[in-house]
Every structure is written in structure tokens, then in C-alpha cells.
């Protein structure tokens, strides 16, 4: 499986941490120094760092800098390699898993979020808002920030077991969204605009600590895809559709 540039950078940073190449064992250098050392853009570096935050490998605490979370190396490696150990499954089954995990997670996130959680969500939204969905080369970049936003919401729950379950299937989710993002954006009128609007509504409900609204918008967001299975040549999950997707979308 070919790694993305983000995954390559995460692997490089992890190796640097494991081998003690940084000046301190507790923190990473500032962003500018990391950019020069790794030879990458600020955007790519921030994507990698946010993913590593979601993986529990580092923490970013404002002026305190980028702190290394020890005992996280194995977790990062498992997340990067895990896709090879999963069987091929239907996209509808992946969506069913997401419905089961992400609706209650959005509700919990609304109750326990803090300013740092919101800052990370806003950063994802800002990146998504700047992507030109009419330009096909940007679909992959949009997928990166879409995933980071959903991952941040899951991490906001503070439930480590839930996060590990989510990360266990994350590679399959990424494969699914990468295959179909461009198809949806090209063949369903207004898909890009609606997707961004729903993402923004989820974040605003979490910001307002409106648990029920956060869960409901997440439900609508995920169910919209489940109802358009005709594009994917796969049988939809009737049970998941009946349980989760009978309300308004």
C-alpha cells in the first residue's frame, strides 16, 4: 500500500522521536524548525501533527509547544499498518460502523469539549472552507481534513477505548472515502456545499454544548451517503438505514 505524504511524515517524526534525534525527550522543536528539518510545507506539517494528536502520540498546548506522549509509538505503528490486516468489506458496512460510533460520540463531545478541542475543529473547518471542490486534485486534501475533523470529535470524548476502536477501522474508512469522494462531489449536485455546511453545524452544536443537536446533525451527515448507494454498485445496509436514517435528512 502506498503511503500518503502525511503518513510518510508521521512515520519520519515517529522514528526521530524513537531514536532520540530531537534535542529534548519531552518536546518537539517549534513548527518552523520542524519544517526546515523535515523539508515540508507548514500545511503538511500541521496535518501530520494534528493526526499524531488524534493518535495520542503528541499533545499541543498553546504556548507550551508540542509535547511528546510516551508509550505512544506502538499505537502509531498499529494505525499505519493496520489496514493490511483487515478484510475487504462493503462500504455500507463501514458506514454502519460510523453511524454506531460517531452519533453518540458527537453527543458526548458536546458535553465535554474544551477550548483546545474547538480550536482544532475550527482549524479543520478553515482548511475545508479553502478547498476548491471543483478542482479534482484537491479531493485528496479535502479527504485529509475531513478525516481529521471526525477524528478530533472522537478524541474529544476522552474515551480511550472508543478512540482505539475508531482508529482500528480508520484505515478502512479512509480507503472508502478516498474512492468515493470525487464521485459524490462530481455526480451529486451540491454535495460539497452540503458536506461543509453539515460539518460546520456539527462543530457549532458541539461549541454550544447542544448534545442532541450534535448527534442529530452527525446522523444526517452520515445517512446522506448511505442513501446514495446506487453510485457504488453495493447493496446498502437495510437494517442500518431503517434504524438510523428514517428521519429527515
Secondary structure element (H or E) that encloses residue 225, with its range? helix 211-226
CB 244 within 8 A of CB 103: yes
Distance between CA atoms of 246 and 238, rounded to whole angstroms?
11
Q: Mean pLDDT highest for which of 133-137, 182-186, 189-193?
A: 189-193
The residue with cell 472552507 is 129
- Residue 76: band (very low, low, confident or very high) from pLDDT cuts 50, 70, 90: very low
**Is 101 or 237 the better-scoring residue by pLDDT?**
101
How many residues does this entry show for the chain? 249
**Cα–Cα distance, 11 to 9 (Å, whole number):** 5
CA separation for the pair 73, 10 (Å, rounded): 11
Specify the pLDDT at position 71. 57
Model confidence at 86: pLDDT above 60? no
User: Mean pLDDT over all residues of the chain?
Assistant: 78
> From the CB of residue 112, how many other CB atoms can be counted at a distance below 10 Å?
14
Higher pLDDT, 108 or 192: 108
Domains of the chain: 5-77 (1.10.10.10), 86-244 (1.20.120.530)
Does the pLDDT value for residue 68 go beyond 60?
A: yes
Max distance between CA atoms of the chain, in angstroms, equals 55
Helix (H) or strand (E) holding 91: helix 91-112
Res 1 pLDDT > 60: no
Cell numbers 478524541 correspond to what residue?
A: 155
13 is written with which cell numbers?
517524526
Q: What is the pLDDT of residues 212-246, one digit of tens each?
A: 999 999 999 988 877 665 444 455 556 666 677 87
- Work out the average pLDDT over 55-63: 74
Question: pLDDT class for 58, splitting at 50, 70, 90?
Answer: confident
Amino acid at each position: 500500500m502506498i503511503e500518503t505524504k502525511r503518513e510518510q511524515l508521521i512515520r519520519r517524526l515517529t522514528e526521530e522521536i524513537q531514536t532520540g534525534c530531537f534535542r529534548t525527550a519531552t518536546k518537539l522543536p517549534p513548527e518552523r524548525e520542524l519544517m526546515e528539518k523535515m523539508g515540508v510545507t507548514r500545511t503538511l506539517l500541521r496535518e501530520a501533527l494534528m493526526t499524531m494528536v488524534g493518535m495520542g502520540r503528541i499533545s499541543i498546548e498553546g504556548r507550551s509547544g508540542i509535547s511528546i506522549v510516551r508509550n505512544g509509538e506502538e499505537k502509531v505503528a498499529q494505525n499505519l499498518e493496520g489496514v493490511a490486516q483487515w478484510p475487504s468489506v462493503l462500504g455500507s458496512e463501514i458506514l454502519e460502523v460510523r453511524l454506531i460510533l460517531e452519533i453518540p460520540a458527537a453527543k458526548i463531545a458536546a458535553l465535554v469539549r474544551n477550548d483546545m478541542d474547538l480550536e482544532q475543529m475550527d482549524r479543520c473547518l478553515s482548511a475545508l472552507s479553502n478547498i476548491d471542490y471543483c478542482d479534482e486534485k484537491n479531493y485528496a486534501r479535502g479527504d485529509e481534513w475531513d478525516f481529521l475533523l471526525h477524528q478530533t470529535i472522537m478524541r474529544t470524548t476522552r474515551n480511550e477505548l472508543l478512540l482505539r476502536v475508531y482508529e482500528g477501522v480508520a484505515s478502512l474508512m479512509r480507503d472508502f472515502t478516498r474512492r468515493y469522494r470525487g464521485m459524490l462531489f462530481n455526480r451529486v449536485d451540491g454535495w460539497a456545499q452540503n458536506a461543509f455546511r453539515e460539518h460546520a453545524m456539527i462543530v457549532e452544536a458541539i461549541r454550544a454544548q447542544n448534545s442532541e443537536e450534535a448527534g442529530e446533525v452527525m446522523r444526517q451527515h452520515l445517512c446522506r451517503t448511505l442513501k446514495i448507494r446506487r453510485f457504488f454498485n453495493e447493496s446498502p445496509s437495510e437494517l442500518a438505514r431503517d434504524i438510523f436514517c428514517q428521519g429527515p435528512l
